[in-house]
């Protein structure tokens, strides 16, 4: 059974829009709207949502879960995305850390999202973890909203990204 509730998503000084709270099979998924808009010929706009999934999975299992059920593990592409995620985490239950779509190339050592290299970052202590001492996958902390590396085999809740498209007439 799935229960879907519409909720208001807000931050300290910013109304983020209407969100969804879905409860099914003992799992709670909390989603709120992002400001990231894209347009195309047939779909306009596309609205990105953050989905906080309170299941403890390894990074790879979380990556697959988000790809199968949503769009992907969350990518934080700029400071605006970072601020929005901070507000969402501020109003969610659970302590985290939360997996995000951040991983380190085991061959080259640089950090990547699903389909691009990392240009914006918010690493703990302001320093990107480097091989060979890094743990190869990324989490965001709920307490300070900083990113840090984590062993990919640990199990954590995670944050997915979802896009909803509206058809043009």
Task: Calculate the average pLDDT of the chain.
Answer: 74
How many whole angstroms separate alpha carbon 156 and alpha carbon 83? 21
Residue 139 tokens, joined = 């989490």
pTM across the whole model: 0.71
142 occurs within a structural domain: yes
Q: Is residue 55 part of a domain?
A: yes
> Residue 80 falls within a domain, yes or no?
yes
pLDDT score of 66: 96
Domain extent, residue 149, equals 50-161
At residue 49, the pLDDT reads 79
Cα 114 from Cα 37, distance rounded (Å): 19
What is the average per-residue pLDDT within 59-84?
Answer: 94
Question: Which tokens belong to 87?
Answer: 């507000």
C-alpha to C-alpha distance for 72 and 155, rounded to whole angstroms: 17
Q: What is the pLDDT of residue 82?
A: 92
Residue 1 lies in a domain: no
Residue 133, pLDDT > 90, answer: no
In this structure, is residue 96 part of a structural domain?
yes
Contact yes or no for 136/149 (Cβ under 8 A): yes
Where residue 109 falls among pLDDT bands split at 50, 70, 90? confident
Residue 57 domain-assigned (yes or no): yes
Whether 6 maps to a domain, the answer reads no
pLDDT of 2-56, one tens digit each?
Answer: 333 333 333 333 333 334 444 333 344 444 444 443 323 333 345 567 889 999 9
Collapsed DSSP state (helix, strand, coil) of residue 70:
coil
**In the 8-state DSSP scheme, what is residue 125?**
G
Domain containing residue 98: CATH number: 3.10.100.10
Q: How many structural domains does the chain have?
A: 1
Q: Is residue 103 part of a domain?
A: yes
Strand locations in the chain (E): 2-10, 15-24, 27-38, 43-57, 72-73, 98-104, 111-112, 136-140, 147-151, 156-167
131 compared with 81, residue with greater pLDDT: 81
């Amino acid at each position: 059974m799935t229960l879907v509730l519409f909720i208001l998503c807000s931050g300290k000084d910013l109304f983020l829009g209407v969100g969804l709270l879905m409860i099914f099979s003992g799992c709670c998924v909390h989603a709120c709207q992002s400001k990231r808009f894209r347009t195309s010929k047939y779909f306009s706009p596309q609205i990105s949502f953050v989905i906080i999934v309170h299941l403890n999975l390894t990074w790879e299992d979380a990556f697959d879960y988000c790809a199968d059920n949503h769009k992907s593990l969350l990518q934080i592409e700029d400071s605006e995305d970072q601020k929005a995620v901070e507000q969402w985490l501020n109003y969610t239950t659970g302590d985290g850390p939360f997996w995000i779509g951040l991983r380190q190339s085991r061959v080259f050592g640089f950090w990547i999202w699903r389909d691009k290299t990392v240009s914006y970052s918010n690493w703990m202590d302001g320093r990107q973890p480097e091989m060979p001492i890094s743990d190869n996958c990324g989490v965001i902390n709920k307490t300070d909203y900083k990113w840090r590396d984590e062993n990919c085999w640990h199990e954590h809740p995670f944050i997915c990204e979802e896009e909803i498209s509206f058809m043009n007439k």
